[in-house]
Amino acid sequence: MFHKFNAKEILEMAEQIEKNGYTFYRKAAADVKDPSIQSFLNELAEMEVKHEAIFTEMKNALSDSEKEEIVFDPYEETALYIQALADTRVFYQKQIDTSSAEEVLKEAIVAEKESIVFYLGMKDMVSNASGKERIDEIIREEMKHIQIIGNQLMHLKK
């Protein structure tokens, strides 16, 4: 099934990815034993909250035409599809060894990379007026997350 997303739907996916990221980092922080890693993961969770707020702001600023349904969807299957796509592509639920700070950080890097790929694709589907430059900001932030997490991982290996 091919579905062409409107800007509102794309931003809803982005919001869901950020919510999933928040949940991932909070759960990992609760499970990891090292207090410094717990604090680090909680900081990453808060960054995800800020990103979600940016996407919500962008969505709220969309014009009526950017919110228009592209296909008739009386059963709101699009929302379910968006939820499933966001849930299965980035920060998806899987078993990780949260007793190992190193494994948590490795999984975090993978998830951040996947979010960048998603946002790069999303950027092509959002007009300049809809906030394409804001998506670039988020991509840069996600790239910083990878660097920050990578540095923390290297610190653990010393």
Separation CA 16–CA 22 (nearest Å)? 10
Rounded to 10°, the helix 101-123/35-60 angle is 10
* CB 130 within 8 Å of CB 58: yes
**Domains of the chain (ranges plus CATH)?**
7-157 (1.20.1260.10)
The predicted structure's pLDDT at residue 13: 82
Cβ atoms within 10 Å, residue 94: 7
Dist CA 29 CA 39 (whole Å): 7
Mean pLDDT, contiguous 10-residue spans, the chain (158 residues) = 64 85 90 91 94 88 71 62 61 68 89 85 70 79 92 88
Maximal C-alpha separation, the chain = 56
Percentage of residues in the chain having pLDDT higher than 90 = 23
Q: What is the pLDDT of residues 44-73, one digit of tens each?
A: 999 999 989 988 988 888 777 767 665 555
